[in-house]
Amino acid sequence: MNHLALLVCLSLTAATTPQDDSPRPSDLIEAYLDVQGDPLVVAKERSALLERMRGLGDDDELTAVQAKDLARQFGKAQKGMLKVDPKGPRIQSLYEPELGADGKGRYMIGGDTNKPKSLLISLHGSGSYGDKFAKSSSPLFRPAQGRRQLVVLPNIVDRKTFWSAPAPAQHVIDLIDASLRTFPSIDPNQVTVTGFSGGSLGSWVLGAWHADRFGMVAPAGGGPFESTSNLGMIPNLRNTPMKIHQYEIDGRMPSDHVKEAITLMEEARKKWGGYDFEYIEHPGSGHNPPPGGMKKWVEGLPQASRTPRPTKLCWQPHIADKRQFAWLYYDGPLPGPVIVAELDAKKNSIRLEIEGEAKGLSVLLDKDLVKFSKTLTITVNGENVFEGKPTHSLSTIAATHLTPDPALHFTSQIDLD
């Protein structure tokens, strides 16, 4: 049993009295942390272990002291999780050697590798597969040093999926988490994703699917091949600042879908508020980076600034590997419904409007989001679905504390279906 599991076992002794054939909480947590291998397989195995934790009769009966202690131990466990190699710049693999044999998990870092304050994820285009990906974006390294910014260049090997498939999307999120663990000086609210051509496509798709992880999304010429209205993107971008460049006519990447996205965001702004974006349309035709190249584009980007715990969220779940979005959690059928959730901290209440069914939807909570000592009221489409005091949950802490991003850590979960 590892050190964390021992501590967890001790901290939960008073709260857990399993039957003879029931799993012990410490055993489930040990198995949960020890899962290794392909990231997508790991996610599925951990999901199954979480279900077993939820099946414990006292899963949601932790005391505040036990919840705090368990969360602290998960923080210590971060030291043994994935990290980037700070000795850049050179091509490396994030995962175990056997998983990187086909190029999966490759990346390069540069810029400030001492005490960076912010993080830039630069996604390469379709012409930069293989070792070319490093050469195409490495000019961003030197100017990033003056901004105290770490630059991470992820690599993908499958030309068919680009960045809009589960595996490369998870690779980018794993790299963000690994960078935060390696460089604690990085502010999780100052993470930017950008790219040109296929990298611009990736900025749109990943930036929307995982909008709660970014403080700036900056596509620099190119959009999704599918209509943005079909990809679960536009609602998610309500709270994420964006700067977008696009040529009026692009013969290689579908500029029509970028223009469609701009129209949809303008309509969504009128409906839900938010949507802080700047759209720059370069006249004429061409498939080129913004004038001056990517180096000038990145230097002109505003500082990333994520609101870590927005009081109003818009989200449309779309992929199985993105179940948590800020303080919402969804484990229902995909694509999911459009969800609009609003927190009123003074009234200790949460109001949700859902265009569809709430099956599989939950609200994640901690003492900084709501008051546990007072009655919490939750309504869905005007109907009261919960009225009571939240309790701390083992499975919720386990599910939300694998990331080093503290804005995504919660101790309580209220199911709404």
- Residues 293-316 have pLDDT tens digits of 899 999 999 999 999 999 999 999
Q: What is the pLDDT of residue 41?
A: 78
Shared-domain flag, residues 147 and 55: no
Please report whether residue 75 resides in a domain. yes
Beta-sheet pairing, 324-325 with 349-355: unpaired
383 token code pair? 């109907």
pLDDT of 321 higher than 70: yes
Q: What's the CATH number where 267 sits? A: 3.40.50.1820
Q: What is the pLDDT of residue 14?
A: 41
**Orientation angle between helical segments 25-34 and 3-12, nearest 10 degrees:** 150
Q: How confident is the model at residue 338 (pLDDT cuts 50, 70, 90)?
A: very high
Q: Which of 49, 80, 111 is the last residue of a domain?
A: 80
Please report whether residue 149 resides in a domain. yes
Please report whether residue 34 resides in a domain. yes
376 token code pair? 């919490």
Which amino acid belongs to residue 28? L
Q: What pLDDT digit, counting tens, does each position of 123-174 carry?
A: 988 766 556 666 666 788 888 988 999 999 998 766 666 787 877 888 899 9
Mean pLDDT on 361-388? 97
Shared-domain flag, residues 152 and 256: yes
Q: What is the pLDDT of residue 53?
A: 87
Q: What is the pLDDT of residue 261?
A: 93
Please report whether residue 333 resides in a domain. no
Shared-domain flag, residues 171 and 262: yes
Residue 356 Cα to chain centre, angstroms: 24
DSSP letters, 23-82, are: PPHHHHHHHHHH--SSHHHHHHHHHHHHHHHHTSTTTT-B-HHHHHHHHHHHHHHGGGS-
Please report whether residue 410 resides in a domain. no
Between CA 225 and CA 362 the distance in angstroms is: 32
Shared-domain flag, residues 40 and 137: no
Please report whether residue 373 resides in a domain. no
pLDDT of 192 higher than 90: yes
Please report whether residue 384 resides in a domain. no
Shared-domain flag, residues 121 and 59: no
Which residue would you say has higher pLDDT here, 100 or 323? 323
Which residue would you say has higher pLDDT here, 327 or 20? 327
Largest CA distance in the chain: 73
Shared-domain flag, residues 278 and 165: yes
pLDDT of 3 higher than 60: no
Shared-domain flag, residues 103 and 29: no
Q: What pLDDT digit, counting tens, does each position of 240-290 carry?
A: 999 999 988 887 877 888 999 999 999 999 999 999 999 999 888 788 889
Q: What is the pLDDT of residue 2?
A: 46
Q: Which of 80, 106, 130 is the last residue of a domain?
A: 80
Q: What pLDDT digit, counting tens, does each position of 29-84 carry?
A: 888 888 877 766 787 888 888 888 887 766 678 889 989 988 998 888 898 888 99
pLDDT of 349 higher than 90: yes
Query: Which of 92-106, 111-125, 192-206, 367-381 has the least mean pLDDT?
Result: 92-106
Share above pLDDT 90 across residues of the chain, in percent, rounded to a whole number = 53
Shared-domain flag, residues 125 and 250: yes
Between CA 208 and CA 231 the distance in angstroms is: 9
Query: Which of 9-23, 309-323, 349-363 has the least mean pLDDT?
Result: 9-23
Shared-domain flag, residues 147 and 263: yes
Number of folded domains in the chain?
A: 2
By CB neighbour count within 10 A (0-12 exposed, 13-18 middle, 19+ buried), where does 9 fall?
Answer: middle
Shared-domain flag, residues 153 and 293: yes
By CB neighbour count within 10 A (0-12 exposed, 13-18 middle, 19+ buried), where does 101 fall?
Answer: exposed
Please report whether residue 334 resides in a domain. no
Q: What is the pLDDT of residue 224?
A: 81
Between CA 369 and CA 294 the distance in angstroms is: 39
Q: What mean pLDDT, rounded, does the chain reach?
A: 86
**Orientation angle between helical segments 166-182 and 198-209, nearest 10 degrees:** 80
Shared-domain flag, residues 55 and 152: no
User: 342: how many CB neighbours lie within 10 A of its CB?
Assistant: 15
Q: What is the pLDDT of residue 5?
A: 47
Between CA 186 and CA 220 the distance in angstroms is: 24
pLDDT of 6 higher than 50: no
Shared-domain flag, residues 29 and 117: no
What residue numbers bound the domain in which 11 lies? 3-80
Between CA 141 and CA 152 the distance in angstroms is: 9
Q: Which of 299, 334, 353 is the last residue of a domain?
A: 299
CB-facing half-sphere around the CA of 59: CA atoms within 13 A: 21
Between CA 133 and CA 222 the distance in angstroms is: 17
Are 153 and 108 within 8 A, CB to CB?
Answer: yes
Q: What is the pLDDT of residue 87?
A: 82
